[in-house]
């Protein structure tokens, strides 16, 4: 099984035989990979009925749960890694969820789209309209992405909460890295993958 390249970066950060919690686990591709290749014990939280069925078919532990209700199913420090891909910007309170992730897990791996990407900045500056693109295809009024931020914003939040950024990989929309992106991530990077801890 080949993984989407961002998921491949994430799986490389997960220790074998560790406990993993995936917030918004979708059809369970990442968890399935971690189960097969790293023998991880995992739970996935998901809200989409079809995705839940896909997870059941893959033999995964999937719990129907709205992330906006927090992670009360899980006790403090009960898992090693809490993963959330492309959902931070869509929850009611990203700051509270981030705290909850690090209450439950020793580490958190988070990916989200960068609102500071140069095309996004240019779109707003030249067109005077809320940016839309392949990674952000929604109108301002129907977008699930209600809390867009830039990498700098996210890192500021981490600093304010006293969280440590252990790893950061910034990529373009095809999840590729480059020297230019590494040099000016907040301008040239489209998606960031962060590994943080308390």
Partner 1 sequence: MPQSNSANSVGVITPQIAQFDEPLTLVSGKTLASYELIYESYGELNADKSNAVLICHALSGHHHAAGFHEGDKRPGWWDACIGPGKVIDTNKFFVLSVNNLGGCHGSTGPTTTNPETGQPYGSDFPMVRVRDWVESQARLADRLGIEKFAAVIGGSLGGMQALRWSIQYPERLHYSVVIASAPKLSAQNIAFNEVARNAIMKDPEFHDGHYMVKNAIPKTGLMTARMLAHLTYLSDDAMGEKFGRDMKGDEVGYNYKPEFQVESYLHYQGEKFSTTFDANTYLLMTKALDYFDPAQYYQHDLAKCLDEATCKFLVVSFTTDWRFSPERSEEIVDALIEADKDVTYARIESEKGHDAFLIPIPRYINVFGAYMNRVVKDLKL
8 vs 15, which CB is nearer to partner 1?
A: 15
Mask for 32-51, x = binds partner 1 (CB under 8 A): ---------x-x-----x--
Figure out which of the listed residues 3, 63, 130, 157 binds partner 1, where binding follows CB under 8 A: 63
- Give residue for tokens 């977008």: 143
Q: How far apart are CA 33 and CA 139, in angstroms?
A: 34
CB of 24 to partner 1, least distance (A): 15
Place of tokens 């869509």: 90
Smaller CB separation from partner 1, 108 or 193: 108
**Of 37 and 73, which has the nearer Cβ to partner 1?**
73
- CA dist 51 and 28 (Å) reads 8
Mask for 73-92, x = binds partner 1 (CB under 8 A): xxx--x--------------
User: How many other C-beta atoms lie within 10 A of the C-beta of residue 94?
Assistant: 21
Q: CA 65, CA 42: separation in Å to the nearest integer?
A: 15
d(CA 118, CA 190) in angstroms, rounded, equals 9
Q: Per CB under 8 A, does 17 bind partner 1?
A: no
Provide the minimum distance between the beta carbon of 56 and partner 1 in the complex, in angstroms, as a whole number: 4
Nearest CA among 78, 93, 85, 57 for reference residue 171: 85
Residues that bind partner 1 (CB under 8 A): 41, 43, 49, 52-53, 55-57, 59-65, 72-75, 78
């Amino acid at each position: 099984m080949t993984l989407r390249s961002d998921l491949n970066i994430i799986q490389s950060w997960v220790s074998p035989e560790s406990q993993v919690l995936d917030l918004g686990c979708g059809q369970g591709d990442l968890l399935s990979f971690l189960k097969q290749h790293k023998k991880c014990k995992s739970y996935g939280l998901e809200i989409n009925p079809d995705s839940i069925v896909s997870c059941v078919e893959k033999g995964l532990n999937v719990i129907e749960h709205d992330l906006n209700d927090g992670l009360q199913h899980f006790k403090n420090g009960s898992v090693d890694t809490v993963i959330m891909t492309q959902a931070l910007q869509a929850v009611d309170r990203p700051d509270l969820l981030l705290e909850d992730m690090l209450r439950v897990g020793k580490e958190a791996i988070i990916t989200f789209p960068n609102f500071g990407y140069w095309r996004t900045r240019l779109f707003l500056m030249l067109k005077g309209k809320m940016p839309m693109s392949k990674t952000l295809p929604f109108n301002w009024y129907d977008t699930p992405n209600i809390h867009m931020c830039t990498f700098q914003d996210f890192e500021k939040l981490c600093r304010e909460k006293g969280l440590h950024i252990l790893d950061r990989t910034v990529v373009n929309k095809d999840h590729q890295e480059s020297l230019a992106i590494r040099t000016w991530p907040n301008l040239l990077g489209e998606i960031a993958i962060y590994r943080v801890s308390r």
